[in-house]
Chains A and B, each alone.
Chain A
Amino acid sequence: MSTHDHDHSEDGLSRRKVLECMTWAGTGVLWTITGGVPRSLGIIDSAQAATAPGMTFLQISDSHVGFDKPANPNALGTLEEAVNKINAMPEKPSFMIHTGDITHLSKAAEFDNAERIISQTKLDVHYVPGEHDFIDEEVKLYRERYGRGTKGHGWYSFDAGGVHFIGLVNVVDLKGGGLGNLGAEQLAWLEDDLRSKSKSTPVVLFAHIPLWTVYPQWGWGTEDGARALEFVKGFGSVTVLNGHIHQVMQKVEGNVTFHTARSTAFPQPAPGSAPSPGPMKVEDARLRSMLGVASINFKQGDQRLAIIDTPLQG
């Protein structure tokens, strides 16, 4: 595996090769994006060695604290393993984003346990909610904890390291038969938020449900996601980071890179490969190779962005 050559020349990148690399992304490949063309630099060890200084932030997702079913009877334990892995990283990331489903059932104790573990990273964490974070009776626990300074149901933006970050909420007011939903109010805010930004500013959009259509038969997409993407057209570097589907998936379209992160709790099947998108029970020995976090590196100046998906094990 480690001897496989993934260093393609940019003009010779065939569709087959891209697909091959997409498979590799699932086992920990460093990606660099230059002019919209993905180029993988090798497996994790050599990739980390090749990482130049720049801003690095982490993405963690779908911790589902409280989940205790056969697919992973101890989701809190695997979250803790992910946090230990983060704490052992040779270079401390600038901050972390959590792309939702912090808890499984929005119980106060689940939020408290998640906070107790995640705070051990001693990193600033920027959250967006998943649908599992809004199912307490009064729909208030998430917003009490993470809603301060946000708009609407919890959307916001901030700047870090020369990159403009936008956290979106697409798990509210879902319509029967539909997909994820941003809604008119949030879209108007987004358009306004981007108006003052120069087109050379790198933009990172993050939300729970994929903003691109991954697999509508399982609800893996956002009804009005294309509207949001219209507003970032013309920006030189756009990265869309999502969770929800509990597996790594990547797509590049023009200047936009779409990427989904693993869960720290349980894997879900590849689109259409099972009767439903529910938790996938795998052999115990394989579980930790299907859970993990993502590390994203941005180097000022050359518009390149690198994503490393690191499994908990393997």
Chain B
Amino acid sequence: MTKITRRDFGLVVAAAVLLPVTTARADNDIEVHIDNFVFAPAELNVKVGTTVTWTNRDDIPHTIVSAGKFRSKTLDTDDKFSFTFTTAGDYKYFCSLHPHMTGMIKVE
């Protein structure tokens, strides 16, 4: 474990190069609102490194769950939940209390 292989070294360099770029893009944070049991916008296209913040503006608690990816605590009225997307892909999510509420974040 003490030896750094050529391949590992390459990864470390790549990470070091990518990191500042990722941080810069994170300035582009995005909000999703919950009103009337609906995620708005329901679908979002974001860059890797973006932080999405959900705010529950209903009088009823909601959650934000993407199976195997992330899960918020229960959000009461005006509570928020943030998640930073560090890997590209499609993130389908829903409210585990009211599963007819669904949304999608496409990360590229």
Contact = CB atoms under 8 A, between A and B. Distances in A.
Contacts of B76: 105
Interface residues of A, number: 25
Contacts of A279: 59-60
A71 B58 CA distance: 12
Question: B interface, by DSSP: helix, strand, loop or mixed?
Answer: loop
A69 interface: yes
B99 interface: yes
Interface residues of B, number: 23
Nearest to B65: A176
B100 A69 contact: no
Residue from A69, A174, A179 whose CB has the most chain B CB atoms within 10 Å: A174
A218 interface: yes
B96 A174 contact: yes
A219 B61 contact: no
A104 B59 CA distance: 11
Contacts, number: 58
A135 interface: yes
B25 interface: no
B100 A179 contact: yes
A175 interface: yes
B74 A219 contact: no
B36 A276 contact: yes
A216 B99 CA distance: 11
B25 to A, nearest CB: 28
Residue from B61, B67, B77 whose CB has the most chain A CB atoms within 10 Å: B61
B100 A218 contact: yes
Contact of B61 (A70, A132, A277): A132
Interface of B: 36-38, 58-61, 63, 65, 67, 73-74, 76-77, 92-94, 96-100, 102
Interface of A: 69-71, 104-106, 131-132, 135, 137, 174-179, 216-219, 275-279
4 pairs of A and B residues whose beta carbons are closest in the complex: A176-B94, A276-B36, A219-B100, A69-B59
